[in-house]
Amino acid sequence: MFFAKGGVFLDITVIFDNILHWISTSGVKLVFGLIGLWIGWKAVNKGLKTLNTLLKKQNIDLTLVSFFHAFADIALKVLLVIVFMGFVGIPTAGFAALLASAGLAVGLALQGSLSNFAGGVIILLLRPVQVGNYIETSSYQGTVEKIGIFYSHLVTADNREILIPNGALANGSLINYSSKPLRRVDLTFSVGYNDDILKVKTILNKIIDNNPLILKDPEPFVAVSEHAASSINFIVRAWCDTENYWIIYFDLLETVKIEFDNNNISIPYPQMDLHMQKSE
């Protein structure tokens, strides 16, 4: 059957046959492809949810779990779309090239953010710092409260929150005061040249022995460290559990001053003698 319209003849039978052919070939693929895409999408969500539950039961860091979930979710779903396009006959070479070009453009625009992202991956994998550690960077120090994908949250001693880019944290120098179970308190105390240094040493050792937070092993150390210009300096080194460091530090400063005063041990301080000569 032919219909004429504007000088153009259309064969309805041919068109109908073409439609039936498309439905029986590409149409079936499209339907099965959409069904497969939907099932795969649901499977990815279900699988990642189950994996998250298992990882949390293993006491794995929550930051690492959330980071892995976000990365795997995007990667697996992009892979599903590419497989679907290939199944239904859509050329994926152009799509891959477009995706690569878009990735390059985004990468150039977000160099700083990608550096922070890479820094976050390094921190999460190598674990130079962990949540709860007290650290010192080139500019700040405080307790690590959270390690995010782009920024780490640091809380200072006066309860200020500082966001440090992960790129700077991973590539810069830092001191981790919490990574070891034990720390050593190092203090220097000065006494006068007229004081009995054996008596001073006995007093310092007694103060250390009476402090229950100071460990006996490793053994504490007390000795004369320097004959200074106006004083004899004693070095005191005492080991303790890391969490007790500041308690012992301030307690020793206070107790030594009290005991020196009770035993008439002088603590020298800088003095200047001024001699005036009367001119004729």
pLDDT greater than 60 at residue 10: no
**8 A C-beta contact, residue 179 and residue 243:** no
Mean pLDDT over all residues of the chain?
78
Residue with the larger pLDDT of the pair 240 and 74: 240
Residue with the larger pLDDT of the pair 271 and 252: 252
pLDDT greater than 70 at residue 198: yes
**8 A C-beta contact, residue 148 and residue 120:** yes
Q: Of 139-148, 156-165, 185-194, 195-204, which range is least confident?
A: 139-148
What is the reported pLDDT for 3?
47
What is the reported pLDDT for 23?
56
Confidence of residue 9 (pLDDT cuts 50, 70, 90): very low
Share of the chain above pLDDT 90, in %: 35
Q: Which of 130-144, 160-174, 250-264 has the highest mean pLDDT?
A: 250-264
Full DSSP string of 65-78: HHHHHHHHHHHHHH
Share of the chain above pLDDT 70, in %: 68
- Residues forming a β-bridge with 236: 187, 222
**8 A C-beta contact, residue 133 and residue 144:** yes
Residue with the larger pLDDT of the pair 54 and 12: 54
pTM above 0.85, yes or no: no
**8 A C-beta contact, residue 170 and residue 115:** no
- Average pLDDT (200-212) is 95
What is the reported pLDDT for 91?
63
Q: What is the pLDDT of residues 85-136, one digit of tens each?
A: 766 666 655 555 656 655 555 454 445 566 777 777 777 777 788 888 999 9
Would residue 89 be called left, alpha or beta, if left means φ above 0 and alpha means ψ between -120 and 50 degrees?
left
Confidence of residue 238 (pLDDT cuts 50, 70, 90): very high
What is the reported pLDDT for 150?
80
- Can you tell me the distance from the alpha carbon of 189 to that of 99, in angstroms, rounded to the nearest whole number? 66
What is the reported pLDDT for 95?
57
- Can you tell me the distance from the alpha carbon of 107 to that of 185, in angstroms, rounded to the nearest whole number? 47
- Average pLDDT (66-78) is 71
What is the reported pLDDT for 74?
75
What is the reported pLDDT for 55?
67
Q: What is the pLDDT of residues 266-276, one digit of tens each?
A: 988 766 666 66
Full DSSP string of 190-226: EE-TTS-HHHHHHHHHHHHHT-TTS-SSSPPEEEEEE
- Average pLDDT (55-73) is 65
Residue with the larger pLDDT of the pair 85 and 200: 200
What single-letter DSSP state applies at residue 159? S
